[in-house]
A = this chain, B = another copy of it.
Amino acid sequence: MSFLDHIENCNRYNLTNFVPLNMGNRRVGWVKRPLIPYFAAFPDVVQCDIDDIKINPTLDTPAVLTEAMSRIGNALTESGFTSPWRHEPYAVGTRFGECLFELERAVVPAFGTRAYGLHLTGFVRDEANFLIWVPRRTLDRLTYPGELDNTVAGGQPAQLSLAENLEKECAEEAGLPSELVRQARPVGTISYHLEIEHGLRDDLIFSYDLELPTDFRPRNCDGEVEDFQLWPADQVMSVIESTDRFKFNCNLVLIDFFIRHGLIKPSHSDYTQLCRGLNS
């Protein structure tokens, strides 16, 4: 296990296993070939060819498209190709902020559309050292139970702005009041492509740093977190470098934190590959 392994673990995919999901001349997703028949069962919604799936151009409003796609999504779920619905609509577009239609979060990987999220690293400084607030996910979480997580992390639903979502997630996951959240600094993005059994995760995470007062204690409010611990950055680095204890994509956000703050240095043998690999 190494820092670079985490980046490679998030970027395992073979696009020849997929066909593009196209809307006009724009690709909006990737569909795994074995799922094509399940899309083809909706000829009023998509036209499936050997090399691509074309969205019916007569479905020309976001509302109509959203309804049509939800029928395909339902069928995929009934056939066992997605996780249970979370009733969180995600925006689908060719860039952030565009919403051609909405898609239930659970079916996003089956459509291979880009999913956005946000992560916040809450830290305190003790002289020259950084300490990071690390939550552990509850053992009854549907996804990644018991794994270590970033201080705050959440998906980006279609209806909220990034700033609204940041405030909501910070309140729910760490009890952060809005006056502290407003001091959070956006510091860039992390992205990766990961092939899963029935789809592709094309994920882009907006990353934030937040230096917290030394007397602040995060407090989980939505039951997703077992406990928070304040770890010296060195300890976080060593756990990431040697284990899989953090939820898979948190490793990348934290590696980026270490690079931006000079804790992983150019003398590290994988430095240039790490820097280039964080936005793949």
Contacts and interface: CB of A to CB of B under 8 A. Distances in A.
B187 A259 contact: yes
A37 B191 CA distance: 42
The main secondary structure of chain A at its interface with chain B is mixed
Interface in A173-198: 185-189, 191
Nearest to A114: B272
Contact of A275 (B185, B276, B279): B279
B191 A266 contact: no
Interface residues of A, number: 27
Nearest to A118: B266
A269 B271 CA distance: 29
A192 to B, nearest CB: 11
Contact of A206 (B96, B206, B266, B278): B266
A97 B269 contact: yes
Interface of A: 95-97, 162, 185-189, 191, 204, 206, 259-262, 265-267, 269, 271-273, 275-276, 278-279
